[in-house]
Structure 1
């Protein structure tokens, strides 16, 4: 059942984002920023953690989950270090994911030899 919940919640998030991209004039970069900010707000309200408990990776992998991860890191750092934690917490909590994306993106570029569009 965990796999089914992850599949349909993750699919629903992706479908809603695709509808947003198709039906509005928002550029993809702005939609990505909107998703991260929405995940942060839902995390701050305590809503997103319940969704992750229900759907697992279906909720934590999309960009909404990245915003929630940033929120959790910032909250923890502010509780421990005060106001300066605002600047440090997000980096500490998301460093592994960002590093993995950069490393695997670089490896993929070595394997597939990308070319610039003309």
Structure 2
């Protein structure tokens, strides 16, 4: 049942974002920023964590989950370090995921020999 919940929640998020992209004139970069900010706001309000508990990776993998992770790291760092945590919390919470994305994409570029679009 966990896989099913992850599938339909993640699919619903992706479908809603695709509708947003198709029906508005928002550029993809702006939609990505909107998703990260929305995830942080939903995490701050306390709505997003129950969704992650219910759907697992279906809710934590999309950009909404990244915003929520930033918020959790920020909150933890502010509680521990005070004002300076405002500047360090997001970096420490997401450092492993961002580093892995950079390293694996670099390794993939060696294997697949990327080319410029014509």
Q: Quick check: TM above 0.5? A: yes
**CA-atom RMSD, angstroms?**
0.6
What stretches of structure 2 of length at least 5 have no aligned partner? none
State the number of aligned residues: 118
Distance 1:86 1:16 in 2: 31
| 1:21-40 to 2 correspondences below 5 Å | 21-40=21-40
Q: Which residue of 2 aligns with 1:61?
A: 61
Q: Which residue of 1 aligns with 2:115?
A: 115
Q: Which residue of 2 aligns with 1:102?
A: 102
After the TM superposition, which segments of 4 or more aligned residues of structure 1 sit over 6 Å from their partners? none
Q: Which residue of 2 aligns with 1:87?
A: 87
Q: TM-score, normalised by structure 2?
A: 0.98
The CA deviation at 1:116 is 1.6
Distance 1:27 1:112 in 2: 28
| 1:3-18 to 2 correspondences below 5 Å | 3-18=3-18
The CA deviation at 1:33 is 0.4
The CA deviation at 1:12 is 0.3
